[in-house]
Amino acid sequence: KFEIFNLDMKTGDTLKIKGKISEDADGFSINLGCRSTDLALHLNPRFNESVIVCNSRCSNAWQKEHRDNLCFSRGSTIKISIEMLTDKFQVKLPDGHEVEFPNRHCYDKISYMSIKGGFRVTSFKL
């Protein structure tokens, strides 16, 4: 688990994450918000379902899921870029795939980030 509590991500910023997905990963998640119980973006690739699930969390309650096709595989090294806009998160994935997810909580600042599961971070840049 990779966790940061003082990330200073603001509207207009882009977070770039590079890492390697383990060969036996069921999935992993990248979470952005003010704390683990309040997430503006939960990005959760699931290899057993071949899907990327995006969601948000408010006071520990999950909200409505958004599902997209999975565009990378176990064992690969990938770059993910997440741009925070006023009304949405623009996520750039490998091979030109993009996922948009609304900024449901209207956050203008993100202080919390965690990465869990079968993904080893090799670099990240804000």
pLDDT tens sequence across 76-104: 999 999 999 999 999 999 989 999 999 99
Architecture of domain 2-125: Sandwich (2.60)
* Domains in the chain: boundaries: 2-125
Query: Do 11 and 85 contact (CB within 8 A), yes or no?
Result: yes
pTM metric for this prediction: 0.96
The predicted structure's pLDDT at residue 70: 95
The predicted structure's pLDDT at residue 35: 95
Q: Which residues of the chain have pLDDT under 70?
A: none
Residues sharing a CB contact under 8 Å with residue 113, sequence separation 6 or more, in sequence order: 2, 3, 4, 7, 9, 15, 30, 31, 32
The predicted structure's pLDDT at residue 39: 98
The predicted structure's pLDDT at residue 23: 97
* Separation in Å, CA 87 to CA 7, 66, 108: 20, 16, 9
